[in-house]
Structure 1
Amino acid sequence: MTETPTTETPTTGEERHASWLELFFDLVAVAGVAQLAHLVHGSTSWGDVGLYVVCFLAFWTAWMCFTVYGNVAKGAARTLPVLLAMVGLAFMAASVPDIQGEHAKVFAGAYIGVRVLADRVWENRRGGVRIVVDWPVAQLGFGVVPWFVSFWVESPWRYGLWALGLALDLVITFAVSGDRLVANLTARMATREGPVQRPTLARLDTVHFGERLGLFTIIVLGEGVLTVTDAMASTPEWNARLYWTVIAALALLATLWGTALNRGFGGIPYLAADVLGPRLLLPLHCLVAGLLAVFAGGLGDAVESVDHGHVATGTRWLLCGCVAAFAVIGSLAGFAAGRGVRWALVTLVPGLVIPAALGLAGDSLAPAGFVWLLIAAAGAGLLRRAETKTA
């Protein structure tokens, strides 16, 4: 007979910060975000955008599996599996430039390898298993099946199978409850011969997890800084128009930092800790990080457009769409955190109206003016103090 599972609760007495192993692991995210952002840098194709979404979600999911592991295992995290996961993520990142060629198979193989390793890392040598009830994707690998099938399928259907696998992970995130996961594992363990060690239910340390998500957001914003400086360095003639555009681009990145990290939580603009559970927080973080990464590529294109006198239509709509989506997410997150209806409207209305106007009629604006107006759209919520709730 299998014993009732015990529950691990995060330690709340002492604030915990990222370990050296976790920080070293995050270096692979630097490489991954840099390669992924290049998928949309200089491109106006919706096909490239769709491929970027699939690849970013796959990379983020693989990274998140071991971020969850580090959060739960704390100082007992095993170094070798984490380093092996870094190798897999590095292979995924290196495969991105030729993702529409033969390197697509390397990308898929590395993804499958990281996911299989992420499933195995929860078992200890005595046969015990930790169950992560807050994010079951870390242990349920059903989503890798379409990825395995994709080895025998040519593009573009291959990428459709990747998207299907990621969609299965998303369904698991919201559909599989902790109780159901425990029941399935308990039934499976009951069929084994000999003594069975009871499983342990693991919960995420929310404060530490917010720091880890915030560090990933810093990495993505850093890619924006790198893209802007690379665009400036590659411009032959430096003049006042270029200087003002670069200053505006860096100010825009600082504005996004202010909303997502200085006033937000876990990289989610204006969110407060403990407002959302991990099953909502993680997909939302993936969405925001993905928007910021694609935004970084578009911002570099805006700087490079100084010589043309205006931002290209595709880049203009890409940047405007990202800012508008950011405003919607921020206003909803801030409202959920108790910032009030008026604050949410002050944040939302400029965040939608200004990007819409720029998208429709911004072709006559100089790049610097275009970016400064995006700052007004993205930073409206920073100018108004949050309303306080009254009992």
Structure 2
Amino acid sequence: MAGAPSEEKRVTWAELYFDLVFVFAVTQVSQLLHHHHDWTGVGQALVAFAPVYWCWVGTTVQANIRDVDSPRDRIGIFAVGLSGLFMALALPGAYGDRGALFGAGYWAARIVLFWLLWRVPGVWRGPYGVGAAVSGPLMLAGGLVDGPARELLWALGATCDLAAPFVFRRRLAKVVYHPAHLPERFGLFLLVALGESIVGIGAPLAAGRLHPAQLVSVATAFAISCALWWLYFGFASEAMRFAVETASSRRDMIRWVFSYGHLLLIAGVIAVAVGFGETVAEPGRALGVGTLGLLYGGCALYLLSFSYTRRMMFGVISPTRLAAAAVVLALLPLMVRLPALAALSALAAVLIGLNGLEHARVRRAARTPAAGPDRSEACLAPDLG
């Protein structure tokens, strides 16, 4: 296991302020997906979201391995935040006339992160060096061309960034991570995405007249959002913290469960949020395949991601969440001709039922004498799903 720091690291106020930029960025990604939610639009939104997410990940890891409560590091965090703000402003026209701004904002963020970490052994010649020297230039080059060439260059840049922690994993073995800080940070980003689901519920109805069916639709969609929150913070978050604290290779746990796993979780929540935005205002209208795909497909991705993270943490899958994802996908084609409220209600029933089942399993495991004093069992139980 990597050497453990002497005291627990907490999230700083500068990091929380930095997160506000990414609240806006997630909203902009949602808008991009809202306007184009066919397969091409989903692919474009994912390619645009990956660099935004990776800027946040890079800053979070930098804050984890350094003491960032200094003027230099605070200014560095705010500089990355400004770059992220430029990227967010560019997102609505990222595949139009704002591509260069998006690419330049990303490269600027990677250069700042490289400057902040170039003295840390095993880091600057790894993912941060790749970001400054390879993926950043690719993103800018993509912004300067049009059409499929832009998508190709951006996809290549995103792939380079996503692959870098795996390719340079030996160099990252020298880095000492604070185990409590990263689960808190990634949980906060998931909260940002869940906040977007609240916006998706309320924004379409805020300006117009309300009728009872819409209020029922709002309540049902909010129940879905609460159920998604509960699946993570009620059952999985402590298991993730326990896993990173006790891992024989902390860097691998951080890479697979947090850097990669949370990209899937957050992408799923954003898709659900966009689905809400096109559903709650007209509860009696049948939804199109695209909207159902976002709502049900995003939920299924969220559930399947837990099987992936649990496999990485403990070597087993999450059977109840895997089964729930299968039910969600099986229901999707049956919902095409039904009213939006029926689609929301069916999804809410599956998620609430899943939470109830997992709660019962956790209580049953807690009553088992063998699990009582054993901390590993106690932490495995919350992620039994």
Tell me if both proteins adopt one fold, taking TM over 0.5 as the criterion: yes
- Residue of structure 2 aligned with 1:222, choices 183, 187, 195: 195
Which residue is equivalent to 1:137?
127
- Residue of structure 2 aligned with 1:317, choices 287, 293, 311: 293
SS of the equivalent of 1:304 reads: coil
Identity %: 24
Which residue is equivalent to 2:350?
377
Give yes or no for contact 2:274–2:294 (8 Å, CA) kept in 1: no
Structure 1: give runs of 5+ residues left out of the alignment. Answer: 1-6, 183-200
* C-alpha distance in 2 between matches for 1:168 and 1:42: 28
User: Does residue 1:90 correspond to 2:80, yes or no?
Assistant: no
- Residue of structure 1 aligned with 2:156, choices 159, 164, 168: 164
SS of the equivalent of 2:122 reads: strand
Judging by fraction of residues, say which structure has more helix. Answer: 2
Give yes or no for contact 1:351–1:380 (8 Å, CA) kept in 2: no
User: Does residue 1:294 correspond to 2:271, yes or no?
Assistant: yes
Which residue is equivalent to 1:196?
none
Which residue is equivalent to 2:107?
112
- Residue of structure 2 aligned with 1:273, choices 243, 247, 259: 243
Which residue is equivalent to 2:222?
250
* C-alpha distance in 1 between matches for 2:113 and 2:68: 17
Give yes or no for contact 2:286–2:338 (8 Å, CA) kept in 1: yes
Q: Counterpart amino acid of 1:59?
A: V
Give yes or no for contact 1:42–1:298 (8 Å, CA) kept in 2: no
Change (3 A) 1:151 1:98: closer
Q: Counterpart amino acid of 1:238?
A: L
Change (3 A) 1:303 1:339: farther
Per-residue deviation at 1:256? 0.5
When the two structures are aligned, how many residues end up with a matched partner?
353
What aligned pairs does 1:296-375 form with structure 2 within 5 A after superposition? 296-306=273-283, 308-334=284-310, 344-357=318-331, 359-375=332-348
With normalisation by structure 2, the TM-score equals 0.83
* C-alpha distance in 2 between matches for 1:381 and 1:335: 19
User: Does residue 1:54 correspond to 2:26, yes or no?
Assistant: no
Which residue is equivalent to 2:60?
67
* C-alpha distance in 2 between matches for 1:313 and 1:270: 34
User: Does residue 1:103 correspond to 2:98, yes or no?
Assistant: yes
* C-alpha distance in 2 between matches for 1:327 and 1:302: 21
Which residue is equivalent to 2:5?
11
Give yes or no for contact 2:285–2:340 (8 Å, CA) kept in 1: yes
Change (3 A) 1:20 1:44: closer
Change (3 A) 1:304 1:280: same
Give yes or no for contact 1:72–1:202 (8 Å, CA) kept in 2: yes
Give yes or no for contact 1:255–1:379 (8 Å, CA) kept in 2: yes
* C-alpha distance in 1 between matches for 2:147 and 2:223: 40
Of residues 207-216 and 328-337 in structure 1, the stretch that sits farther from structure 2 once superposed is: 328-337
Per-residue deviation at 1:305? 3.0
Give yes or no for contact 1:115–1:144 (8 Å, CA) kept in 2: yes
* C-alpha distance in 2 between matches for 1:136 and 1:373: 46
Structure 2: give runs of 5+ residues left out of the alignment. Answer: 375-385
Which residue is equivalent to 2:380?
none
Give yes or no for contact 1:16–1:208 (8 Å, CA) kept in 2: yes
Per-residue deviation at 1:244? 0.9
* C-alpha distance in 2 between matches for 1:310 and 1:151: 38
Q: Which has the larger radius of gyration?
A: 1
Alignment deviations for residues 182-232 of structure 1 (CA, whole Å, 9 cap, x no partner): 9xxxxxxxxxxxxxxxxxx43221211100001111111111101211112
Alignment deviations for residues 127-175 of structure 1 (CA, whole Å, 9 cap, x no partner): x434349x94234332223224325422231121010011122222212
Give yes or no for contact 2:256–2:312 (8 Å, CA) kept in 1: no
Per-residue deviation at 1:40? 1.4
* C-alpha distance in 1 between matches for 2:183 and 2:63: 13
* C-alpha distance in 1 between matches for 2:274 and 2:54: 21
Q: Counterpart amino acid of 1:45?
A: D
* C-alpha distance in 1 between matches for 2:162 and 2:313: 24
Per-residue deviation at 1:9? 4.0
Change (3 A) 1:60 1:107: same
| Pairwise CA RMSD | 2.8
Per-residue deviation at 1:51? 1.1
Give yes or no for contact 2:200–2:274 (8 Å, CA) kept in 1: yes
